[in-house]
């Protein structure tokens, strides 16, 4: 019995690790040509009950603690006029409830826990049928179980459901200040060691200290159309002009915030945020299933990677418990996954609504105080 996992993201690799621990054959097919071919993005906070639970289940929690940044849990929340609403600094002996970790470090931890041949790089899954998996280079493979861990725009998903991700109304411009301690120590002190949030009327600025000395800056615009980047007039191909345009869009905000945008480097990434319908399910189908964003893509409010990793761990445990009956294992996994992620998928929708509201900062303050 062999298992094919499409996608070497956090979810697919957590599953591969669990199967490896239990001695079950699996191959991960990844479209990227090599582990370092594409930047992995910024920091993630892993929660005790989900992402950290997954790492505990696959025997990697101690290694995770060695790369986690407790101080990344620090949080500052401000209003556009510069009023500080909330500042939470993590004491040195605080429990690691939601430590931040560099996404690339986490992926490398999972990759390093697998045999070298576990991932086949440069294999782009195209379709499945007649007992074969087909890849874009014309090669084929067989498997008793196909797991789509191929992210937001999953190709495996079409085997189970017609559902497609839709624009959530949020458009994000991602920028970064490299080496901020050297180049802009005043802005480094302003952002602090963790997360920095400024929520305004229909738009927000958030910044996040990364483990490599850079601060990533995310400028979000809410209630935007799916084609907003085409119509916004931001000259994305000309970084200096794009920064100037973005600063104009934050006119009237405290000058320290626009100074942060001005300090950013030339990498400017537009992200149109999409999500699958919350609570998406499908009839269990022998031989194929999904995990992570492929199954339940949700807006980026800190749950997607945590859920993807827990999916991977729990699917692996179900397969280890039913090594001769993959359909039973998949059905059990899907029942639990649908319940868990349906509830979580609806929460981000509420948070999105709050972020888009005119008094977002005050609402967020009340949300944090109630949590
Ligand atoms: C800006 C932003 C910030 C976020 N912040 C957080 C956060 O703080 N906390 C959190 O929990 N989540 C966060 N998320 C969500 C999180 O990134 C995702 O939910 C998570 O990465 C999903 O993991 P995955 O393994 O399902 O998919 P991915 O990480 O997307 O991995 C999918 C893999 O499949 C590969 N692949 C795709 N198609 C094919 C194909 N046809 N053939 C072969 N391989 C293929 C891809 O190359 C990729 O390696 C954020 C998302 C965004 C956009």
- Enter the pTM of the model: 0.94
Q: Are 14 and 58 in contact (CB under 8 A)?
A: yes
Structural domains of the chain sorted by starting position, each given as residue range(s) with its CATH number in brackets: 3-68+102-165+276-354 (3.50.50.60), 166-275 (3.30.9.30)
Q: Is 53:80 a contact under the CB 8 Å cutoff?
A: no
Round to the nearest angstrom and report the end-to-end CA distance of the chain: 45
Q: For the chain, what percent of residues have pLDDT higher than 90?
A: 81
pLDDT at 371 over 80: no
Rounded to 5 degrees, φ, ψ at 175 are: -135, 180
How far does residue 235's CA lie from ligand 1's centre (Å)?
Answer: 27
Predicted confidence (pLDDT) at residue 287 exceeds the cutoff of 90: yes
Q: What angle do CA 7, 46, 121 make, to 5 degrees?
A: 20
The answer on pLDDT for 301 being more than 90 is: no
Is the Cβ–Cβ distance between 358 and 202 less than 8 Å? yes
Protein residue whose Cα sits closest to atom 19 of ligand 1:
304
Per the prediction, the chain carries an average pLDDT of 94
The answer to whether the beta carbons of residues 85 and 78 sit under 8 Å apart is yes
Sign of CA dihedral 161, 110, 47, 101: negative
Ligand 1 mutation pick, 147, 197, 305, 351, max ligand atoms within 8 A of CB? 305
Confidence of residue 353 (pLDDT cuts 50, 70, 90): confident
Cα→Cα distances 167→66, 184, 278, 359, Å: 37, 35, 13, 23
Per-residue pLDDT of 231-262, as tens digits, reads 999 999 999 999 999 999 999 999 999 999 99
Kindly state the helix (H) or strand (E) to which residue 363 belongs, with its residue range.
helix 360-370
pLDDT for res 38: 79
pLDDT for 11-61, tens place per residue? 999 999 999 999 999 999 999 999 887 777 788 999 999 999 999 999 999
Q: Tens digit of pLDDT for each residue in 86-111?
A: 999 988 888 888 888 999 999 999 99
Tell me: pLDDT of 296 over 80. yes
Q: Pairing relation of β-strands 195-199 and 75-78?
A: parallel
Indicate if the pLDDT at residue 343 is higher than 80. Answer: yes
Helices (H), 130-254: 180-183, 185-191, 228-231, 239-249
Q: Which residue, 180, 176, 181, 216, is CA-closest to 196?
A: 216
Q: Residue 90, SS3?
A: coil
Cβ pair 119, 36 in contact under 8 A: no
For ligand 1, atom 7, name the residue with the nearest CA: 302
Q: Which pLDDT value is given to residue 349? A: 74
The answer to whether the beta carbons of residues 334 and 289 sit under 8 Å apart is yes
How do strand 145-148 and strand 288-290 relate by DSSP bridges?
parallel
Confidence of residue 73 (pLDDT cuts 50, 70, 90): confident
DSSP of 127-141: EEETTEEEETTS-EE
100 lines ligand 1 (CB under 6 A): no
CA 252 to chain centre: 31
């Amino acid at each position: 019995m062999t298992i094919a996992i499409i996608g070497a993201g956090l979810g697919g690799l957590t599953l591969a690790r669990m199967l490896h621990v239990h001695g079950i054959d699996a191959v991960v097919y990844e479209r990227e040509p090599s582990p370092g071919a594409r930047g992995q993005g910024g920091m993630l906070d892993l929660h005790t009950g989900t992402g950290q639970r997954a790492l505990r289940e696959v025997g990697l929690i101690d290694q995770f603690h060695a790369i986690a940044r407790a101080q990344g849990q620090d949080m500052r929340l401000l209003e556009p006029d510069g009023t500080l609403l909330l500042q939470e600094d993590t004491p040195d002996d605080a429990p690691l409830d939601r430590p931040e970790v560099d996404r690339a470090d986490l992926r490398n931890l999972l990759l390093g826990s697998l045999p070298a041949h576990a991932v086949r790089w440069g294999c782009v899954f195209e379709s499945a049928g007649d007992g074969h998996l087909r890849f874009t280079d014309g090669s084929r493979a067989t498997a008793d179980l196909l797991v789509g861990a191929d992210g937001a725009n999953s190709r495996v998903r079409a085997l189970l459901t017609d559902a497609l991700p839709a624009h959530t109304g949020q458009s994000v411009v991602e920028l970064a200040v490299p080496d901020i301690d050297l180049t802009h120590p005043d802005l480094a002190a302003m952002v602090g060691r963790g997360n920095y949030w400024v929520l305004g009327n229909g738009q927000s600025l958030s910044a996040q200290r990364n483990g490599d000395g850079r601060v990533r800056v995310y400028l979000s615009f809410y209630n935007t159309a799916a084609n907003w980047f085409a119509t916004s007039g931001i000259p994305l191909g000309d970084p200096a002009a794009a920064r100037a345009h973005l600063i104009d869009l934050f006119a009237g905000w405290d000058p320290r915030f626009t100074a942060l945008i001005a300090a950013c480097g030339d990498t400017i990434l537009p992200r149109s945020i999409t999500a699958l319908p919350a609570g998406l399910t499908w009839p269990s189908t022998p031989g194929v299933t999904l995990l992570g964003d492929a199954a339940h893509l949700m807006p980026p409010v800190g749950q997607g990677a945590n859920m993807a990793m827990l999916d991977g761990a729990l699917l692996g445990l179900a397969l280890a418990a039913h090594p001769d009956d993959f359909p039973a294992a998949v059905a059990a996994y899907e029942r639990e996954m649908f319940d868990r992620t349906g509830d979580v998928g609806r929460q981000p929708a509420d948070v999105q609504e709050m972020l888009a509201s005119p008094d977002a900062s005050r609402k967020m303050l009340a949300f944090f105080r109630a949590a």
